[in-house]
């Protein structure tokens, strides 16, 4: 009920292919107050179908309607952010059809705005309200299936083919939402492949793989170029398996299979059992979803698919799109489902690479297997690192630098543009000498100037500074300033990078130094 003890009054923006179903359900629930659509013919038809419901061509006219409590946004996805923000700013609760927005930062802004204004923000992930899925989620939570090992989802049909979004964004959000709900965690890695046949830039078929820290895996196969309709979610546990098939009659929509894998003569042998049909109360999922929104508006209850759930789904969608754009390369995510670091779409990261939170890898760089990059590392353009190189936290590696096997950078190292490392002392093109690699260590806080050369087998001291173009052939002491070819020590450097005077006093930060150790004076 609203402040007058009545049901919330709801307006719907967009009454096309899917919006008309939302209009129908909110009207059946006695909550429909207004409809907004840009098509006059559509509005005229709806006005005749729902007498007493006001119709509007402009969003601001709908929002200005007295007594309106909440608004449903069922317009094209690219308009969701702008419209939802306008609705929240007007002090109305909002239900946004999937996807919530197209960008994570936009979703975060809507979440913050809804929290600030104490309004409900709900996302239309319809299948989360299907009675069969709710029963399946309860079974998983209660441990009826045991440990969940694998989930796969097929959402296939011939059409409806879209031109404003690809099949991934059109079909997969529902499946991602269900899988995240069953997993109880966000994935740590996403890979997606697909094909575009009807339009060169719009994928018609995609397969998305999700990896979870718990060891669970999932895949989602979606297509609008399939000879028949299939909407099936399969959950494989170590005690039972479950199939949610939304194309089946209601009594067969959710079936449990208590199959087992037994070991005989040290070999796994499947033991099949009779399927168990799960009794589920019949109800229209969309009616239940709309009713849930009204309940949240009335009571302040948190929506089952709130803004944060919408953001989690959006993060997986965007990671899948990035992987699709990169030909199926794995895109890592943090535990919360947010991108943990940035890898430009032109960069290549081989399997077996570890990358810390906040690290950025820019255009056309290549990180080879076995390499470990710490947190908040910045890797510029055309950089090659690896294999088996260790880079500490907070390092900055400028354009056109190559860090070869045997090189180790501690924390906070700065590598200037085009500085050069070697790993073999006397290389020959025709003589293999990888077994003669000499390790090179660059210690904490050191700075290597542009175009300098570091000959392998040396240690560059902490907070030292190697001048531009210098050629380092032997160890550099901590805090030393070296220049020239071969490099020679010319003075001392403070931790802040300032060259010290003869008394080893820093004019910038005021510290005085004795034999490279700060006294803090």
265-274 pLDDT, tens digit per residue, is: 888 878 788 8
Final residue before a domain boundary, out of 100, 119, 138: 119
144 and 80 both lie in a single domain: no
Mean pLDDT of the chain: 91
Q: Percent of the chain having pLDDT more than 70? A: 97
Residues 380-392: tens digit of each pLDDT: 999 999 999 999 9
Q: At what angle do helices 307-325 and 104-117 cross, to 10 degrees?
A: 170
Q: Which of 282, 299, 403 is nearest to 353 (CA)?
A: 403
CA pair distance 107, 166, nearest whole angstrom: 20
Phi first, then psi, for residue 513 (nearest 5°) are: -130, 145
For residue 248, give the CATH number of its domain: 3.30.360.10
pLDDT at 339: 63
CA pair distance 461, 513, nearest whole angstrom: 15
* Contact in structure between 471 and 456 (CB atoms under 8 Å): no
437 and 409 both lie in a single domain: yes
CA pair distance 313, 173, nearest whole angstrom: 7
Q: Which two tokens stand for residue 82?
A: 């702008």
pLDDT band at 451 (very low <50, low <70, confident <90, very high): very high
Q: Is residue 368 part of a domain?
A: yes
Q: Which two tokens stand for residue 408?
A: 């180790």
pLDDT at 521: 32
199 and 252 both lie in a single domain: yes
361 and 466 both lie in a single domain: yes
151 and 200 both lie in a single domain: yes
365 and 496 both lie in a single domain: yes
Q: Is residue 321 part of a domain?
A: no
* Contact in structure between 137 and 181 (CB atoms under 8 Å): yes
Final residue before a domain boundary, out of 87, 119, 151: 119
pLDDT at 14: 95
Q: Is residue 491 part of a domain?
A: yes
pLDDT band at 331 (very low <50, low <70, confident <90, very high): confident
Residue 40: is its pLDDT beyond 70?
Answer: yes
Q: Which two tokens stand for residue 158?
A: 């011939």
Q: Rounded mean pLDDT of 355-364?
A: 91
Residue 253: its H or E element: none
Q: Supply angle C-alpha 412, 417, 419, rounded to 5.
A: 85
pLDDT at 512: 87
Q: Supply angle C-alpha 453, 457, 458, rounded to 5.
A: 65
Q: Rounded mean pLDDT of 409-431?
A: 94
Torsion 160-164-166-169 (CA) sign = negative
Rounded CA Rg of the chain: 30
Q: Is residue 256 part of a domain?
A: yes
Q: How many domains does the chain have?
A: 3
Q: How many CB atoms lie within 10 A of CB 98?
A: 23
Q: Which residue has the tokens 């899988």?
A: 179
Residue 520: is its pLDDT beyond 50?
Answer: no
Q: Percent of the chain having pLDDT more than 90? A: 75
Q: Which two tokens stand for residue 102?
A: 């197209």
Residues 133-180: tens digit of each pLDDT: 999 999 999 999 999 999 999 999 987 777 778 889 999 999 999 999
Q: Is residue 466 part of a domain?
A: yes
For residue 73, give the CATH number of its domain: 3.40.50.720
Final residue before a domain boundary, out of 119, 145, 166: 119
Residues of the domain holding 86: 10-119
What is the C-alpha end-to-end distance of the chain, expressed in Å?
Answer: 69
């Amino acid at each position: 009920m609203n402040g007058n003890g009545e049901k919330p009054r709801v307006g719907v923006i967009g009454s096309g292919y899917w919006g008309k179903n939302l209009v129908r359900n909110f009207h059946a629930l006695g909550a429909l107050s207004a409809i907004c659509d840009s098509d006059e013919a559509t509005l005229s038809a709806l006005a005749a179908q729902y007498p007493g419901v006001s119709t509007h061509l402009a969003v601001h006219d709908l929002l200005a309607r007295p007594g309106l409590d909440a608004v449903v946004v069922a317009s094209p996805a690219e308009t969701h952010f702008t419209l939802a923000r306008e609705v929240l700013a007007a002090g109305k609760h909002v239900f946004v059809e999937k996807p919530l927005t197209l960008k994570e930062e936009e979703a975060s802004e809507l979440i913050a705005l809804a929290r600030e204004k104490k309004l409900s923000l709900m996302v239309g992930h319809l299948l989360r309200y299907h009675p069969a899925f709710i029963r399946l989620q309860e079974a998983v939570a209660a441990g009826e299936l045991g440990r969940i090992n694998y989930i796969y989802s097929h959402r296939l049909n011939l059409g409806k083919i879209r031109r404003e979004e690809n099949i991934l964004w059109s079909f997969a959000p529902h499946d991602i939402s269900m899988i995240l709900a069953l997993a109880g965690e966000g994935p740590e890695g996403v890979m997606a492949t697909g094909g575009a046949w009807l339009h060169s830039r719009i994928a018609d078929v995609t397969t998305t793989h999700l990896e979870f820290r718990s060891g669970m895996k999932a895949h989602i196969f979606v297509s609008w170029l399939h000879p028949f309709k299939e909407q099936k979610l399969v959950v494989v546990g170590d005690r039972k398996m479950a199939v949610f098939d939304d194309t089946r009659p209601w009594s067969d929509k959710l079936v449990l299979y208590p199959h087992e894998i037994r070991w005989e003569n040290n070999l796994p042998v499947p033991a099949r059992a009779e399927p168990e049909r799960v009794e589920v109360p019949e109800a229209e999922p969309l009616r239940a979803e709309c009713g849930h929104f009204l309940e949240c508006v009335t009571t302040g209850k948190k929506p089952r698919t709130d803004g944060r759930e919408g953001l989690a789904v959006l993060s997986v969608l965007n990671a899948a799109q990035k992987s699709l754009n990169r030909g199926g390369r794995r895109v890592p995510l943090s535990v919360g489902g947010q991108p943990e670091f940035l890898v430009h779409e032109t960069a290549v990261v081989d399997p077996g690479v570890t990358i810390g939170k906040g690290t950025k890898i820019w255009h056309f760089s290549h990180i080879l297997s076995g390499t470990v990059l710490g947190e908040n590392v910045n890797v510029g353009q055309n950089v090659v690192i690896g294999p088996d190189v260790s880079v500490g936290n907070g390092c900055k590696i400028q354009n056109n630098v190559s860090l070869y096997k045997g090189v180790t950078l501690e924390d906070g190292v700065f590598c200037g543009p085009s500085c050069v490392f070697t790993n073999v002392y006397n290389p020959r093109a025709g003589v293999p000498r990888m077994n003669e690699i000499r390790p090179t260590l660059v210690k904490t806080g050191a700075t290597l100037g542009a175009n300098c050369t570091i000959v392998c087998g040396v240690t560059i001291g902490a907070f030292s500074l190697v001048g531009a173009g210098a050629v380092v052939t032997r160890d550099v002491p901590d805090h030393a300033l070296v220049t020239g070819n071969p490099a020679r020590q010319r003075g001392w450097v403070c931790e802040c990078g300032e060259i010290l005077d003869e008394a080893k006093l820093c004019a910038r930060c005021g510290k005085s130094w004795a034999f490279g150790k700060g006294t803090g004076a």
